[in-house]
Each structure stands twice: as C-alpha cells, then as structure tokens.
A and B are shown apart, each in its own frame.
Chain A
Amino acid sequence: MSNEQIKSLEEIFEARIARDEKIEPKDWMPEKYRKTHIRQISQHAHSEIVGMLPEGNWISRAPSLRRKAALLAKVQDEAGHGLYLYSACETLGISRIELYDQLHSGKAKYSSIFNYPTLTWADMGAVGWLVDGAAIINQVPLCNTSFGPYARAMVRVCKEESFHQRQGFEIMLKLCNGSKQQKDMAQDALNRWWWPSLMMLGPTDAESVHTEQSMKWKLKRKSNDDLRQQFIDQTVPQADLLGLTIPDPDLKFNEQTGSYDFGTIDWDEFWQVVKGHGPCNKQRISARVAAWDNGSWVRDAAMAHAAKKEALKIKIAI
C-alpha cells in the first residue's frame, strides 16, 4: 500500500472516530491504534486477575457466611471481567498466552494498587469503596470509547463494579457502626488505602505520556487530574457519612472552585511501586506465575484429551 493510500485510510479512520462511530476488529486501523489498545485492554485484564489475589486473600477468613458468599461472588466477577477483556484484546490479533507471558515477565503492567497488602477485614471494605470507586471513575467514560469490543465489555464491567463499590461501602458502614475495634480497623484501612487510591488515577497531567493521543481516540475522555478531583469530591462526603477522617491535613473545601483542595501526593512512592518495588509486587507476580506453571500439566491434559476425542470422532465417521 502506498503512503498516500495509508494517509487516506487514516483520514477516513479519524473521521469515523470523530463521528463517534465504533471501530470493529475487522475494520482497518492504524498500527499505533491497535498497539495502544492491546496495551491498555491487556493492562486492564491483568489488573482484574491480579486484583483477585488481595481480595482472594480474605475469602477463607471472611467473618460471616454472608460476607464469604459476597466476596466469592465479587472475586468471581473479577475473573469474568478478566476473561472478556482478554477476549476483547484477542480480537486485535494477540493470544491470551502471549498476554500472560507479558504479565509474567514484567513487560506488561497492571494497576499498581494491587501491590498493596490486604491486612485486615476492613481492607475488603476499603478496596471496594475506594479502589472500585476510583476504577469506576476511570472506566465509565470508556463505555463510549471508540473500539467496539472494549466499549461493550466496559458497559458490563461498570455495572458490576458499581455494585462492588456499594458493597465495599456497606462493609465500611457496618464497621463504623460497630465496636471501637471495628471502627479503628476501618480508619486504619482508610489511612492505608487513601493515597494509593489517588495514585491509581495515574500520574499528573504534566507527567502523563499517553493522554493526548488517547483523548483523540476517545480511549480517555478526561485527564488524570480531572478524574482524581472528581474522585476526591465524590469520596470526601462519603467518609464524613462514615465518621472517618481522610488522612490528609491539607484537605479543605474550596468555596470558589466548589471542589476539595488536597495535599501533595508522594509520587516517589507511586513510581517505586510501578517499577516493581511495592510491598507485594513480587508476591503477586509469583502467585500468578505459580498458578500458571503448576497448571500446565492440567492444560496439556485437556488439550491431549480433546485431541483424542476428535480423533475418535473422525475414526467413527470414516
């Protein structure tokens, strides 16, 4: 294809996106669009399956049968999100095994929030309330993103995430209406999860490398800083309702902007975790690699069995 032809295809493509048309897997797309989407969708899928680990950590110790069932259902939802996000990603011409390899080798990233440990039951509340809360703010705009399979997957993901967020808040509410020990547990969880949740919305706009192009492709519709502000403005009144204190002495409502001003985020910590040196990075990846490696004989057996069945079918047909 000549450069001119490609240029004309690109123009048609950009015009379709500008008209809010969906791009489907078989449509022509620029290589950069394809690669960017593989990166973002797989990063999202990896976050779902790595995110199963910190919450799975409390299934066996959930304090009541009702909570155990709800947590099982939640972690199962996350596995489901992982499954259809990997499927959406595969439509771009990459296999799930290749994507796993990227995760296991450290080439692909996942949300850095899952590199923090879940130490008490209240962390199940805080993760639902804050982490899923921040995730929704990030993801709701993606329901209208330009790539069809991703946009459709996000509609379902967002519905379920919003349920998880309410469930997390309800865990916190129960703790905050409980004994002093329970309320202390809730405050401690908020103290540990607040700042990492703010970091979860990504580096400041000045440092964000992907924003401009992603905005154009509607892969991103608001900047990281705008999303962060939205999260803070939404969450502070909820903390008030719980009777918990946000661990930020500089947090203050600004009458002029109608938003909360907040303190400085420790970006050194953020980059440290992103670069693999958070409290649980090694543990999380080792757990995923172990699950994959220990499961290889099972997957091999399934393939071998399917091949035998197929051969038998052909033999019978002949």
Chain B
Amino acid sequence: MKNENLYNYILGIADNSLILGQRLGELCGHGPSLETDIAGTNISLDLIGQTRSYYQYATKISEQEKTEDDIAFLRIEREYKNVLLVEQPNTHFGYVMGRQYLFDVYHLMMLQQLQFSKDETLAAIAKKGIKEVSYHKRFSGDWVKRLGDGTAESTAKMQEAINDLWRFTAELFDMTDADTAMALEGKGVDVSKLKEGYYKEVTALLEEATLTAPEGMYFSRGGKKGVHSEHMGYLLADMQYMQRTYPNMEW
C-alpha cells in the first residue's frame, strides 16, 4: 500500500463511529421513551453514514480489491482500531448517555480540526460530520445534565456511569504512529492537543449536572492498538455473523 499511514488513520477515526453506531443500534426499540428511541437510532444512523464515507475513501487508498463491507466486517478483532470507550456495553441509560457524551465532546473537537485537513476528502467528511455531531453532543450533554441533576436515584446512576467510563477517556488523546505521521503532513489532527480543552469542557458540564469528575484514577488504553476489552469479541460475533456465515455474497 502506497499510503499505509493514511489508510490506518482513516480506519482509526471510522472504527469509532462504526462500533459506537453498532452499540446504539442494539438499543433500538428498547429505550426509556419513544423520543429517546428515535434520537438514539438517528445518532446511530449518522455514525454508520460517517463510517461508510470513511471506509469508501479507504477502499480507494487500499491497493487490494476491498469494499467498505470487507473493511467493516472481515477483520479480526486485533485489527479494529476503535477506542475502548465506544465498545463499552449499554449497561443502563446513564451509561449510554455517559459514553455518548464523553465521546461526542472529543469527536466534535477532532472534526473541527479535521475540516482544515490538507486532504480534501477528509476535510469534506469532517465538515458534514460537524453538523451531525454537534447535535449528538447537545443531546447527550442535555441528558447527562437531566440525569445528573434529576432525582437522587438518577444522580447516583449517572455518577456510577461516569465513574466507570472515565478511565476510558485518556486513550482518546493517545497518538498512534499513523496519527503522528498524518498530523505532520497536515492531513490529520494532533489529538494530544485536544486533551486540556476536553477535560475543561467535560468537567464544567459535570459540575452543572451536580456530578463529580473522578480524580487520580488509572486509565485504560489499548483499543487504538487493537487490544480491546472482552466485550468486543461478542460485539463482532454479532456484527460479523452474516458475512462470516455466508462468505462472498452480495446483499
């Protein structure tokens, strides 16, 4: 492959959207209200749409004969580059909104930089994504506030989710080799620079939600290098079922 770094860089971004979209899709029809079901499905749909744009671009860079679905469905677990945060299960609605918010803040910051990429395709995908992700962040942030500053039960549940998910946030700002190479070329985003602003913004919202940002915690990392949590294998077994059972067919 001529541009392996670009290829890996695209997958690093796209895999987050795919896996989070997959997780949200599992919830469809099971949400706490019809309105949240519609919104959750809509966010999932946006994320799957973004994934397709990235993967379609990646197929052009790959010199092998690959389709977007080969990339989505036919890799082994170690080859998925998504962060650990997005693969975490839908434990309860507090986790779903906490996971979403903690990702959305990062996602929007990253896209706001990516829109100035020297790579025109990535810049175009980012521009379109900004509109969608701004809405995602507003939705998830509002829910973190409602649940955090709602009833005693909801405050406890939302805090529980934040406590559990917090340790997955630091990985968002780790730079992979592909990230570093693409940032140097002006095509990728130096995500390590987003860290300070991210924690400032998230902490402020948690405060407004009467929640506490955990301190002095150990952080979990590994997703970006393909070392995932135990949850990932089951997610992939589900997602890849058709492509694995019926190989080489069109749907």
Contact = CB atoms under 8 A, between A and B. Distances in A.
Asked if A and B bind, the verdict is yes
Contact of B69 (A65, A175, A298): A65
B30 A287 contact: yes
Instruction: State which size class the interface on B falls in.
Output: 35 or more
B48 A174 contact: no
Contact of A64 (B147, B238, B251): B251
B190 to A, nearest CB: 29
A12 interface: no
Interface stretch (B3-11, B20-28, B79-87): B20-28
A162 to B, nearest CB: 20
B32 A294 contact: yes
Contacts of A121: 242, 251
A135 to B, nearest CB: 18
Given A65-B55, A66-B52, A304 B29 contact: no
Given A60-B22, A287-B29, A308-B149, A76 B42 contact: yes
Interface in B47-75: 48-49, 51-52, 55, 68-69, 72-73
B113 interface: no
Nearest to A179: B249
Instruction: State which size class the interface on A falls in.
Output: 35 or more
Given A60-B22, A60-B26, A75 B251 contact: no
Contacts, number: 139
Contacts of B69: 63-65
A88 to B, nearest CB: 14
B11 to A, nearest CB: 14
Given A291-B30, A295-B33, A61 B51 contact: no
Interface in A67-101: 67-69, 72-73, 75-76, 79-80, 82-83, 86
Given A67-B251, A181-B249, 15 more contacts: A49-B34, A52-B28, A53-B29, A63-B249, A65-B51, A69-B49, A79-B38, A121-B242, A178-B251, A179-B246, A179-B249, A298-B33, A301-B146, A301-B150, A305-B147
14 contacts: A49-B34, A59-B25, A63-B69, A65-B48, A65-B52, A65-B68, A65-B69, A72-B41, A86-B34, A178-B251, A287-B30, A292-B32, A301-B151, A304-B150
Interface of A: 49, 52-53, 56, 59-69, 72-73, 75-76, 79-80, 82-83, 86, 121, 171, 174-175, 178-179, 181-182, 287, 290-292, 294-302, 304-306, 308
